[in-house]
Amino acid sequence: MKKTGIWLDKDKALIVTIENENETFQIVSSNVEHYKIHGGSGTRQKGGPEDVVQDSKYLEREKHQLKQYFKDITTKIDDSDELVLFGPAGTNEKFSDELHENYKLLSTKIKGMRKTDSMTDNQVKAWTRDFFLSN
């Protein structure tokens, strides 16, 4: 039985696969851009010029980048029997939603979703082992 733990945030996914006491570890980088909105002109004059921020343009680009990131992850885990998703932000929830929407077979294999802080590679491996030992 192939059990896979995925720690993910917007920057990278750390994938731990356990099969027959063998453990493999992979890193998938996301290529999701981080942007900061630079609104306003910096002037204190009333009625001064202001920059128009195109928030929807950035959000749409991020959505497409996340979709590609999630696709890259699913190619690494498509033969898993059990999955657990964990990580610090809402990215694991977005990934779960993507699985439910576009990868129905994989979404049925999710055994848990947990919020965790940032972790080292070894902590991710240990956390995954502990999760599957206790379930």
Classify residue 48: in a domain, yes or no: no
CA distance 72 to 32: 12
Question: Does 44 fall in a domain?
Answer: no
Burial of 87 (0-12, 13-18, 19+ CB in 10 A): buried
Considering the domain boundaries, does residue 105 fall inside one? yes
Per-residue model confidence (pLDDT) at position 52:
55
Nearest alpha carbon to residue 4 among 121, 110, 120, 117: 110
Structural domain count, the chain = 1
Tell me: the pLDDT tens digits for 87-103?
998 899 999 999 999 99
Q: Are 40 and 48 in contact (CB under 8 A)?
A: no
pLDDT below 50 — which residues of the chain?
A: none
110 domain residue, yes or no: yes
Q: Is 47 inside any structural domain?
A: no
Q: Which tokens go with 79?
A: 């033969």
Domain assignment present for residue 39? The answer is no
Q: Provide the residue range defining the domain that includes 106.
A: 2-32+54-134
Confirm whether 19 is domain-assigned: yes
Q: What is the CATH number of the domain that holds 75?
A: 3.30.420.60
The answer to whether residue 8 is domain-embedded is yes
Q: Residues 114, 118, 123, 127: what is their CA dihedral angle, to the nearest 10 degrees?
A: 0
